[in-house]
Chains A and B, each alone.
Chain A
């Protein structure tokens, strides 16, 4: 399947990309790894007049840590995040990086592209919402940082203005003793998740001092599961408390029935995934190494 014809431009720097996108205007789209964009172009879901290829802009594929935060360049691929030290140090990041689609897609797909696609089934926005991340943007009016939960405004829609691109993301280094898990369920490796849950816990013994939960593939954008957090925060984690939180997350989700499953099926998945996520995060808080990712048939 051919995409509709478009002109192709290759940007050598962030400044050049901004200028190209700004000059071309509405018909231009930024291309990174293309693992979301090209799929949409091939089915003619979108017919841009021009693609501006960002992939060869230098220095946008680095992972840095310092001053209490972690910064990941927009062009960093899922595969390089998966095999980075970051994924070992902060396992929830590895859960997500390793769980996205399959080996081939992870070779090409980038964290910046994943966030910019505005697809609620894309994993990074949900994981990054769990870690309270900021999306770093640069455009004709300069630089700005936007919380990831505000960056994706609606289905396939972000706050990016004309000529504006994402250069990276950052999030606070999780506190020592806190840990999380990103778990999902999908029909097969290459498929988007049917449902996914990101969950970050700070524990004192069995007491939940703080928690953040986000739900993926569960509405038009990632959903910050505030009701479920309220069921856990400040409480001792008993089976009953966890079950109530899982129920609250399932209730707050806004899943849409599609070929991946009914609304009820997806709510029951979310309920299970919250419980599984809490279980894994607790074991990790206690220092245990636990390997999880998306489950599939």
Chain B
């Protein structure tokens, strides 16, 4: 048995209270548990993806108290007391969010792996800026990598969603 495994048993779990998509979850977590693992493995909300796992790709983007963060680069204990929104929060009563509709209609995804992160970054962008310019959109999803679309249809999707949301 390595020393690392011995230490693992000695580490006390930490109580946390994290609100995810409006539901308050109280859990005891190992300090090294990443927020993305808490979301995916503990809560079984697997819409949030792990892509690069190195703070690059943005597939794991969630909103923490309204701000976009990469949940692979945050500990669950750091989110104690916070409000988390994941991609599962977007669809309401069977109705897709305008961003989800726009991504679907404008072929804003191909394999779909980056899509949850793209959507959450776009939600954050449109919350602050309902009428973004082309440059604003580029800056809004600068922390999200897509390896299928070449981004053009993602830009189109966000523009379309912004227009639809302004009309609502």
User: Which residues of A come within 8 Å of B, CB atoms?
Assistant: 1-8, 10, 31, 34-35, 38-39, 41-43, 47, 49, 51, 53, 55, 79, 101-105, 107-108, 188-191
Contacts and interface: CB of A to CB of B under 8 A. Distances in A.
B73 A107 contact: no
Given A4-B4, A191-B56, A104 B61 contact: yes
Contacts of B8: 5
Contact of B77 (A8, A49, A101, A190): A8
A88 B124 CA distance: 23
Interface string B141-160: 01111000000000000000
Interface residues of B, number: 37
A4 B124 CA distance: 32
Interface of B: 4, 7-8, 11-12, 14, 30-34, 37, 53-58, 61, 64, 67-70, 73-75, 77-78, 121, 124, 139-140, 142-145
B11 A103 contact: no
A76 B21 CA distance: 27
B34 A39 contact: no
Nearest to B33: A2
Contacts of A79: 67
Contacts, number: 97
20 contacts: A5-B11, A5-B31, A6-B11, A8-B31, A34-B78, A38-B74, A42-B53, A79-B67, A101-B55, A101-B143, A103-B124, A104-B58, A104-B121, A105-B70, A107-B69, A108-B73, A190-B55, A190-B58, A190-B143, A191-B56
Contact of A34 (B67, B74, B139): B74
Chain B binding surface SS class? mixed
B165 to A, nearest CB: 19
Contacts of B61: 104
Contacts of B139: 103
